[in-house]
Structure formats: structure tokens, C-alpha cells
Chain A
Amino acid sequence: QSVLTQPPSASGTPGQRVTISCSGSSSNIGSKYAYWYQQLPGTAPKLLIYRDNQRPSGVPDRFSGSKSGISASLAISGLRSEDEADYHCATWDASLSGWVFGGGTKLTVL
């Protein structure tokens, strides 16, 4: 059972916009930055969004992050087949004094 809650799956067609949610509590998402990682099949997780809505160099602006209260969201616009991957949210939990993750969302591009 993961500390953060994500939908197990999401899907969209090429060109569409999809969003993935990540729900936590006041001790994690509600008071700390949210992070998103993309894990392509057979590869390691790669940082996609940091500090709620910042993109590392090289990440396309089709990917965006937002946060409101105890929930964070990842939006992917102009969906492409190469976006098919697992997406994980993460944050620091002040009560647990450690990093916590969501269960991951498998994105399928139809």
C-alpha cells in the first residue's frame, strides 16, 4: 500500500491531453514539493518534474506539473506513442521523515 495514491492506469489517443493525479496528505504533498518520474519499459525512472512544476533540461514542455492542497497532477499534452510508460509521483513525508511514492500509473497510448 503506497503512501501516495495514483490511478493504476490512464490512456489517451495521439494528440490528446491526459492528466494523472497523485493524492497525499498534509504531511507530504500538502506541505512538500511534488516530483514526477517517467519509467519507460525496461528502463530506470527518469526525473520529469521537480518542485511541483519545474522541468529539467531536455524534458519537453508537453509535460507540466501542478499542485493544489494535498493533490498533485501531471499533464501530458499532444500525446505521443513514445509517452507510453509508467509515471510515478513522489515527495518527502515530514511525519515519516522519508521519501514516499505513489503506486505508479501505467499510461497507454491507444
Chain B
Amino acid sequence: EVQLVESGGGLVQPGGSLRLSCSASGFTFSSYVMHWVRKAPGKGLEYVSGISSNGGNTYYTESVKGRFTISRDNSKNTLDLQMSSLRAEDTAVYYCVKDDCTNGVCYLGYWGQGTLVTVSS
């Protein structure tokens, strides 16, 4: 059974930093692209970042470029998101998401339960 368990969320002041982690099990972690997606209060889902299966390629949405860094450790089956220079608008539940692929078409398949990040003074 696929399991994605996020941790590291909490309350942080504007300008501060936080590191989110996602522990994966139930599948061959090193074979899958992984993502972070967030949902701010009262808003829709927003794609944040993605990383290729070997970690060699990364993607960031424009609003987090230069502030967030995605990484993975395939030996430990973990996905991380280092967040710095945090802003109030980064307040959201952050979800770790596993890619799924069918006949060569890949999509956001399985979602973890999420971890809440609150940026406030």
C-alpha cells in the first residue's frame, strides 16, 4: 500500500525558513517523479515543485523560485522541500504527491495527508 507521510509544518514568522519532509513507502520510490502541491485557505490547489526520479531535474512555480528547494534521498525514500524567505501567502497545507503513469502518460496520482505551514508574526 502506498503511503506518503509529510512532516515539518508549523508556525513560522515572515522571512523565516522551514523544511518539509515526506516519507514514502509501499512503492519503488526511486522510480517515480515526486511533487509538492499546496492549498491555501479559501483558494484552489497550486502546484509548487517537482523533481525527477533521480533528482537530476527540478521544477518550481514562479512564485517560489529562488526561495524553495526540492530534493530527494532515494536511499532513504524521502522527499524534502526547503522553504526560505517565507511570506504570508505561502500559508497553506502542503501535500506530497506521487506521479502515476498509464500508457506513458503521467499525472499527479497519489497524495499524502498534508502538513500545514502558517506564516505569521
Give me the interface of A with B, judged by CB distance under 8 Å. Answer: 2, 6, 33, 35, 37, 43-47, 50-51, 54, 88, 90, 97-104
- Chain A residues in 8 Å Cβ range of B44: 2, 6, 88, 101-104
Task: Name the prevailing secondary structure of the B interface residues.
Answer: strand
Q: Which single residue of chain A is at the shortest CB-CB distance from B97?
A: A45
Min Cβ gap A104→B in Å is 5
**A98–B108 touching, CB < 8 Å:** no
Name the distance in Å between B1's Cβ and chain A's nearest Cβ. 13
Q: Is the CB of A90 within 8 A of B108?
A: yes
Residues in B whose Cβ lies below 8 Å from that of A101? 44-47
Query: Judging by beta carbons under 8 Å apart, are A97 and B107 in contact?
Result: no
Interface residue count on the B side (C-beta < 8 Å): 21
Residues on B with C-beta less than 8 A from A54 are: 102
Q: With A and B bound together, what is the CA distance between A19 and B14 in angstroms? A: 41
Return chain A residues, CB-CB under 8 Å to B100.
47, 50
Q: Closest residue of chain B to A33, judged by CB? A: B105
**Using Cβ atoms and an 8 Å threshold, which residues of chain A touch B110?**
47
Docked Cα-Cα span, A35 to B102, in Å, equals: 13
- Most chain A CB atoms below 10 A, which of B107, B111, B113, B114: B107
Known: A33-B107, A47-B109. A99 touches B47 (CB 8 A): yes
Task: Give the docked Cα–Cα distance between A104 and B46 (Å).
Answer: 11
Q: Is the CB of B107 within 8 A of A88?
A: no
Q: How far is the CB of A54 from chain B (nearest CB, A)?
A: 7
- Find out whether the CB atom of B61 lies under 8 angstroms from the CB atom of A98: yes
Alpha-carbon distance between A45 and B35 when the two chains are bound, in angstroms = 14
Distance of A104 Cα from B37 Cα, bound (Å): 14
A33, B110: Cα distance in complex, Å: 17
